Structure formats: C-alpha cells, structure tokens
Amino acid sequence: MKPFWFNENERIVRIIYSDKHINPKTNKLRSNFIYFRLNLKSQKYELSCSRFEFESISFLRSFGKETEDSKFGRIYYGLGCSNIKSILSQKNCIPFYSPILLGNRINLFHTDIYDKLGTLISGEADNAINNHRKDQFLGIWCPYKDNGNSFTKEVITPYI
C-alpha cells in the first residue's frame, strides 16, 4: 500500500542524539534510534520523523538543540535519513503525515511511521525473525553529523 501524499523518493529524517542514538566509537546507529512508542490515543506504534523536502534545516537543527538533555546523553548530533521507498519496503511499516504542535511551534511536516505489527519496539527480547526485521529497518537509515554549516555522512549506504 503506497500512501498517495508521499513521493517514493522523498526523504524522511529523524533527529539523532549522541551518545543515545549513535555509538561514538563506530559512528553506527544504535537500535534505540528506531524506538516505536505506543500512542495511547491512536493505539498505534509510532516513530516520529519529519519530511526533509518540506521542513527547513534550521527548524530541525533548532528543535534538536532545544530538546537536548545532557543528563540523559541526549546531545544533538545530526539527522538520520531514509526515504519513503525504503520505509515501504519494510513489512508492515507505513508513513503517515501528521502535523503536530511542539511546545510553541507547529511542525507542519511531522510524519509518523507506523509499525502495524508492533514488533519493532527497541529494548525488548524478541525472536530471531523480529530481531532480523529490526536490523533491516535500522539499516535503511543513514546518520549525518551536523557540522554547523553542513552535514557529513557518517556510515555506509543504507540497506536495500
């Protein structure tokens, strides 16, 4: 099922916090980067992202810095990037355009990725099939370090 309001080449980004989301020794994303939370209103497992082609880098950068919390290893690092085609290639994952209010800001280009099976939840012991599925989903994301003026690709090309 292809959502009609997305282009398959459209990039989807998610804020990376070091050391929480990325291993500083290997520059590889950690599995908690793809933590799907249960939304009690919708009863769906969601991964919060933004539509890169529509959202400004300055908004993403300032939001990442505003939501830092050094006590918990939540220091803004950069952006994880994937695309709609890669997301749709994952079994039972679907993007959903969902603008939201973030404090005093409106994120008009917020997108949730729904895991219709509810099996991509990070930190839980799981069977081999679901662990493989989590690894594949993590593999479609490329981390980019924010250098202030530009972003540097930190890891190998995404899975697919």
Q: Is 19:28 a contact under the CB 8 Å cutoff?
A: no
Per-residue pLDDT of the chain (160 residues; tens, 9 = 90+): 455 589 999 999 999 998 789 887 888 899 889 988 888 888 888 999 999 999 889 999 998 998 899 888 889 999 999 999 999 999 889 999 988 876 777 888 999 999 887 765 655 566 777 778 888 999 999 999 998 888 887 644 444 3
Question: In the structure encoding, which two tokens stand for residue 53, read together?
Answer: 């082609």
CA 61 – CA 106 distance, rounded (Å): 15
Q: What is the pTM of this model?
A: 0.83
Vertex 159: Cα angle to 156 and 160 (nearest 5): 135
Q: Return mean pLDDT, the chain.
A: 84
